[in-house]
Structure 1
Amino acid sequence: MFGSLMNRLLRPSLINICKESARLQTRQMTTVFDDPPVETQSVERLEKTVNQVVLLGRTGAAAEKRGTETHPVVTFSLATHTNFRKGDDLIQQTEWHRIAVFKPYLRETIYRYLKKGQRVMVQGRIGYLEKRDPENNSLVMKSATIIADDVIFFSQ
């Protein structure tokens, strides 16, 4: 009953949105075809790419504010572990990741509430930082940073 009521309420607005969208597309198509012919050039095939990272681990220290007043950033380190057997021994290898948070609300939440040793899950993408020598513009160091889109806190 509730579903049919929602359909009756939403259907007219959805129909109007579809009609408006079709009208705008028609207007755009007519303006494109009304323009004088333009030289075109071949474009390489565009393809979809994915740059996505999900990490679950523990923080190495409290978050730090960095950057400038106009371009602030909050950074923290995250440890993840890989467990494997070597003979009879169980070995745990730790890898450290540098996390950067640029989104304003997420940045402030991380800065206020993130503590050392806290378990968090970070979803984001990989970004690369290049440091160059100012004298001869040669590459000195290139490092990866995880740019966080979302950080989920877990209880201790």
Structure 2
Amino acid sequence: MFSINVMSQTCRRMTRLSSVRFNSGAVTETTAIEKTINQVQLLGRVGADPQKRGSEQHPVVVFSLATHTNYKTDGELTQKTDWHRVCVFKPNLREAIYQHLTKGQRVMVNGRLSYGEIKDDSGMTKPTTAIIADDIVFFQRN
């Protein structure tokens, strides 16, 4: 019983640690803001040449990335492919991707997940998921 209480007190202190401020020698506590992580790392092949989208004020380069999972069903090897939409907003990375990335090329994408909605012509909304790229590593073409 004692160790559980000590552990929960330690966890509460750790949460509050990031919110302690020092003002001229005095320590004051503010409301705790928890740290969160939204991180994605994908290794796969580009599905189509990148496309420029967005506007002049908010340009973006978009491409699809295929990853797959191998598994056995009834002793037979099966492969399931997942498709990911990758969006590149960073100016230098965006231009490098648009100029040098091609369909079929193998790349590793580091970024974060983003969720949104798209309205179609009939007014229906469709949920979307995209990876916002922070870094992309090109692999040599064979």
TM-score bracket, normalised by the shorter chain, equals 0.7 to 0.9
Once the two structures are TM-superposed, the CA of residue 133 in structure 1 deviates from its matched residue by 7.8
| Corresponding residue of 1:47 | 34
Partners of 1:144 and 1:47 in 2: CA distance: 24
| Corresponding residue of 2:129 | 144
| Corresponding residue of 2:98 | 111
SS at match of 2:23: helix
Aligned to 1:85, which of 72, 79, 103?
A: 72
- Amino acid of the structure 2 residue aligned with 1:152: V
SS at match of 1:55: strand
- Unaligned residue ranges in structure 1 (runs of 5+): 1-27, 34-41
Aligned to 2:23, which of 3, 26, 29?
A: 29
Q: Whose radius of gyration is greater, 1 or 2?
A: 1
Q: Does 1:153 align with 2:123?
A: no
TM superposition outliers: structure 1 runs of 4+ over 6 Å? none
- Amino acid of the structure 2 residue aligned with 1:46: I
- Amino acid of the structure 1 residue aligned with 2:83: W
Higher strand proportion, which one? 2
- Number of residue pairs the alignment of both structures matches: 116
Give identity over the alignment, percent.
Answer: 54
- Amino acid of the structure 2 residue aligned with 1:101: V
- Unaligned residue ranges in structure 2 (runs of 5+): 1-21
TM-score by length of 1: 0.68
1:62-90 CA deviation, whole Å, 9 max, x = no partner?
10000000100000000000000001210
